[in-house]
Structures are given as structure tokens and as C-alpha cells.
């Protein structure tokens, strides 16, 4: 299915977030189509769906015991609606202690999830641990404008965070967009 058709089927909110942030970030990163990709914090599946719509196979997950309003969203029906469910695999895991080996992934994404975890330093260290040297960690957090919009809907929503506060010494590129900012870290070659 073409991305334009998929965006139409997934609705205006998905289309806006894809066009504003996710699509441009994915295109800029130009990750190899055979890359092993992890999406930490499935939620509505926007990150996994966006990657799959661009032809990537994605492993996504969130804690099995997370019953917050942000977890356990119906991402699978959205994936089926746009014929990418075969490209997305779900595995329940806790981001503070991921069940993956060192240097296992070519890219790790976390969209709008870092501000929801308890131990942000530990989560960032885990992301770096499972990332292959020379590869990227992309943390996408709401911008100030994005938080303003989110807070109108959910007044008790936690404020966004700057991932640079929880990880030091890695090359970084920041892509600022209307709703979200993408923080792209590169794991240093050993």
C-alpha cells in the first residue's frame, strides 16, 4: 500500500505526525532495509507503523504490566488496516531491563515514551547497550508546542524530557519539528 493511501486510512492525527516528524526523520536516517530495528514503547504504534510503511521490519514492545492509558493501544488493527502487520512483531518487555543481547540492533527508536519511564538513565543505558557500535538511537519527544497540545487533552500528562540529560558523550543531531523533536544519537565505534 502506498504511504499516502495508508495515511488516509490511519486518519488525520497519524497523517499530521507522520508528515511533520516521523516521515522526514525516517527519510533522513536512511537506514538499511535489512536493519534490525527496535521500537521501545509501542503505545498506538505510530513509530512501528511509520517504519513498516517505509518497508522496515520492526520489533516493538512495552511492559506487559503497563495498564496506563498510553499502553495496550490497538496498534495491530491499524497495522492490518494498512497491510503492514507482517512487518511488525510485538514482544512484551520492560525498557529498564531489556531481554536483548549487547550490540543486537542497528537502530533503536523511542517515540513519546521516555518521559513515561521511571528510571530514564537506566533506559537510555539499556538502549545504548543493545545498539550496535556506529548505529543510531532516535528518541522522539514532544516539542513545547506538542506538549501544549497534549496537555489540552490530558492535563495530567507528564512533561516531555530532553534525552541529553540522561546520556552524555555521544554524537548527537537534533531535528526540531512542530509537534516533536528528534534526538539522534550515534553509538561510538569501539
Contacts of 155 (CB under 8 A, 6+ apart): none
Q: What is the pLDDT of residue 72?
A: 58
* Percent of the chain predicted with pLDDT > 70: 95
Tens of pLDDT, residues 10-49:
999 999 999 999 999 999 999 999 999 999 999 889 999 9
Q: What are residue 119's phi and psi, to 5 degrees? A: -105, 90
Q: What is the pLDDT of residue 116?
A: 87
Distance CA 14, CA 44 (A): 10
Q: Is 3 exposed, middle or buried (0-12, 13-18, 19+ CB in 10 A)?
A: middle
Secondary-structure breakdown of the chain: helix, strand, coil percentages, each rounded to the nearest 5: 35, 25, 40
Q: What is the pLDDT of residue 167?
A: 87
* Percent of the chain predicted with pLDDT > 90: 76
Q: What is the pLDDT of residue 188?
A: 82
Stretch 102-128: mean pLDDT, rounded? 95
Q: What is the pLDDT of residue 156?
A: 83
Q: What is the pLDDT of residue 169?
A: 83
Domains of the chain: 3-186 (3.40.50.150)
Amino acid at each position: 500500500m502506498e504511504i499516502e493511501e495508508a495515511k488516509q486510512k490511519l486518519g488525520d492525527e497519524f497523517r499530521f505526525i507522520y508528515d511533520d516528524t516521523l516521515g522526514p526523520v525516517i527519510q533522513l536516517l536512511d537506514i538499511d532495509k535489512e536493519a534490525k530495528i527496535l521500537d521501545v514503547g509501542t503505545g498506538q504504534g505510530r513509530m512501528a507503523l511509520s517504519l513498516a510503511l517505509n518497508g522496515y521490519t520492526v520489533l516493538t514492545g512495552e511492559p506487559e504490566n503497563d495498564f496506563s492509558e498510553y499502553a495496550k493501544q490497538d496498534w495491530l488493527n491499524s497495522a492490518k488496516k494498512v497491510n503492514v502487520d507482517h512487518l511488525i512483531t510485538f514482544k512484551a518487555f520492560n525498557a529498564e531491563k531489556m531481554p536483548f543481547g549487547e550490540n543486537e540492533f542497528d537502530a533503536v527508536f523511542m517515540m513519546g515514551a521516555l518521559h513515561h519511564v521511571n528510571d530514564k538513565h537506566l533506559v537510555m543505558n539499556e538502549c545504548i547497550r543493545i545498539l550496535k557500535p556506529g548505529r543510531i538511537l532516535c528518541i522522539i519527544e514532544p516539542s513545547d508546542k506538542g506538549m501544549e497540545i497534549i496537555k489540552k487533552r490530558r492535563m495530567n500528562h507528564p512533561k516531555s524530557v530532553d534525552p541529553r540529560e540522561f546520556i552524555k558523550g555521544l554524537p548527537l543531531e537534533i531535528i526540531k519539528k512542530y509537534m516533536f523533536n528528534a534526538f539522534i544519537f550515534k553509538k561510538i565505534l569501539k
